[in-house]
Structure formats: C-alpha cells, structure tokens
C-alpha cells in the first residue's frame, strides 16, 4: 500500500490524512476574539487536489499569526490527524499517532504532495488577501483563479493549475481567534524521520 502511494507521483499525503480515522485529539472550535481585540486570523478550508493519476480531498484549519502559521488536518470524525507548523517557509509536520515528525522546506512538501511550486507566503496572500503574487503568476504554464465574495471582497475559492496538477481550495469559514497562535507542543518524545515515514499510517 505504501509503495502505491509513494511512486513517481507522491500525492497521497492528504488523502491518507482524511481516510485514516484512527487516533488523534478532537478539534474544538477556539474562542473567538472579542470586538476590538486583534487576535489572529483563522480559516477552515476544503481542498481538492488532482493530477493525471490521483485525486484527493480534505479539510484543513489554517491559523496564521505574523510570520508563523499552523495547519491542522482533520479527518471525517473532526479529529486532528496531523499538524503542520510553518515559520516563514520552514515547515514541521507532526504525526503524534506515529510519534514521528519531519522538518524541511514548505515548498518541498507542496511539490511532493501536490506537484505544484508554491511558497507559504503565496498561499497565505491568496487565501487572506485574494492577491496572486507576481512571482507565482509568472511561472510558465501556471494559472491562478480567485473568486471573491461580492460583499467583503475576500476570496471564497482559489484554483491553481499548471496543466498537470490542479489544486482547488474553498474557504468554508473565516474568523478571528482570541490570543496569539500557540507554539508547537514539545517534540521531545517524537522521532525525526523522512517525510514518507511521517505520512505513513502503517507500523
């Protein structure tokens, strides 16, 4: 099963996250920031990623606070299967069920799972500002489409395609969450591993 997922097109990452409904803490809606308090931005998104050979979909909570961000990947039971922490473009992907974590470049992670060249700053600007960065749109063969809410002007759908891979993200909910973004929980009890080992749900 692992060999099937990690062939030439390594795109099973998020599919596994959503299908695997095992252990994991239950995601609970955070306290919203009271009017007049800054807090930090949070969105719930649904994605569909397609290549010529694979199709995957899932639901993610994305919190961003300054240069730090966190992505919680939820399974159908609303449990956190994995969490991804990003600071600038450095990423830490944590699978506490397997007691493994991976550290690397966010662009490397996206290139392997979605076959797209995408920096985290690009993704954040698309989802929060409805702005397609010039460096992104200048990539040969790549097209970016953004649909905006008619009242707020904020993005409700973002689609990125390069003719081989396509990623469509729908914003389901926006909110401002009270307080600052929490630091990642301790990794002392976990083992640093290759990406494939962190993603895999097999012992």
pLDDT in tens, 50-60: 988 889 889 99
Strands (E), 67-151: 68-74, 80-87, 90-95, 100-105, 143-148
pLDDT in tens, 87-106: 988 999 999 889 999 999 99
Q: Which of 11-15, 37-41, 145-149 has the lowest mean pLDDT?
A: 11-15
Given a contact cutoff of 8 angstroms between Cβ atoms, the answer to whether 91 and 84 are in contact is: yes
Q: Average pLDDT, stretch 106-127?
A: 89
Q: What are phi and psi of 159, to 5 degrees?
A: -130, 130
pTM over 0.95: no
Greatest Cα pair distance in the chain = 52
Give the H/E segment covering residue 108.
Answer: helix 106-114
Read off the DSSP letter of residue 79.
Answer: B
Q: Alpha-carbon distance 164 to 141, whole Å?
A: 10
- For 2-182+191-198, CATH number? 2.50.20.10
Q: Average pLDDT, stretch 172-188?
A: 89
pLDDT band at 15 (very low <50, low <70, confident <90, very high): very low
Closest C-alpha to 119, from 88, 85, 84, 158: 88
pLDDT band at 1 (very low <50, low <70, confident <90, very high): very low
In this prediction, residue 49 carries a pLDDT of 93
Residues 6+ positions from 96 with CB-CB distance below 8 Å: 24, 190
Q: Which two tokens stand for residue 39?
A: 């807090």
């Amino acid at each position: 099963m692992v060999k099937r997922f990690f062939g030439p097109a390594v795109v099973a990452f998020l599919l596994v996250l959503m299908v695997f409904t095992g252990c994991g803490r239950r995601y609970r809606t955070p306290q919203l920031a009271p009017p007049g308090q800054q807090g930090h931005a949070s969105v719930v998104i649904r994605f569909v990623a397609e290549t010529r050979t694979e199709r995957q979909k899932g639901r993610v909570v994305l919190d961003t606070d300054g240069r730090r961000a966190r992505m919680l990947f939820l399974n159908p039971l609303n449990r956190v299967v994995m969490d991804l922490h990003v600071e600038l473009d450095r990423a830490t992907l944590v699978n506490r069920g397997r007691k493994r974590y991976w550290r690397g470049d966010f662009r490397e992670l996206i290139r392997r799972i979605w076959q797209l060249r995408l920096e985290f700053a690009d993704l954040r600007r698309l989802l929060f500002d409805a702005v397609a960065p010039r460096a992104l749109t200048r990539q040969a063969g790549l097209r970016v489409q953004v649909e905006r809410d008619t009242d707020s002007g904020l993005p409700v759908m973002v689609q990125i395609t390069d003719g081989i891979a396509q990623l469509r993200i729908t914003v389901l909910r926006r909110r401002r969450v009270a307080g600052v973004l929490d630091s990642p929980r301790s990794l002392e009890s976990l083992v640093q591993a290759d990406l494939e080992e962190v993603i895999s749900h097999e012992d």
